[in-house]
Amino acid sequence: MRQKYIQYTGWAVLVIALIFTAIFAISVQIDPNPQVWFTPEYYLQFIPLYIAVTFLLCGLFVVSGFSGVNVYLALFGHAASEEILFSWMGLTTTPLPTYATYILFPFSCLALWVAYANILDKNRVSSSEAIFGFVFSTAFILLPRYF
């Protein structure tokens, strides 16, 4: 019975994440000029797409029963929650639309809880994976804005 609810939840996440991925992929403007590739403005447009794709992978891995799903849940949770929290605290401005912040923030908190509490009874997130997820997400969110 529990596995059935996990599957339903995974499918719901998969559908929501697929919608976000399509919306954010359409909004990305690919520029063939290599001079703009490493500018903060160009890079920032990929943050919503990265968050949506990691969300999509989480749903896919939950549905498929992948044993390493907790690492991806933690990556998504850190990336989405840090992007939104840094924006709410005034450290950054977010390229995420307002509706996406209100939808993705609860999902990111839930993903962090599921990942670190090992609710799905899969491989636990190791200390090094947790540190990597936090540092990578923070760097991904903050570095292009400040360097």
Task: Grade residue 133 by pLDDT with cuts at 50, 70 and 90.
Answer: confident
Q: For the segment 15-35, what is each residue's pLDDT rounded down to a tens digit? A: 999 999 999 999 988 888 888
Above 90 in pLDDT, residue 53?
yes
Task: Grade residue 37 by pLDDT with cuts at 50, 70 and 90.
Answer: confident
Query: Burial level of 106, CB count in 10 A (0-12/13-18/19+)?
Result: exposed
pLDDT at 142: 85
Above 90 in pLDDT, residue 54?
yes
Quote the pTM value. Answer: 0.90
Torsional class of 63: left (φ above 0), alpha (ψ -120 to 50), beta (otherwise):
alpha
Q: For the segment 111-126, what is each residue's pLDDT rounded down to a tens digit? A: 999 999 999 989 999 9
CA 66: distance to chain centroid?
17
CA dihedral 72, 76, 82, 87 (to 10 degrees): 170
Task: Grade residue 1 by pLDDT with cuts at 50, 70 and 90.
Answer: low
Per the structure block, which two tokens stand in for 70?
A: 């907790």
How many whole angstroms separate alpha carbon 97 and alpha carbon 48? 9
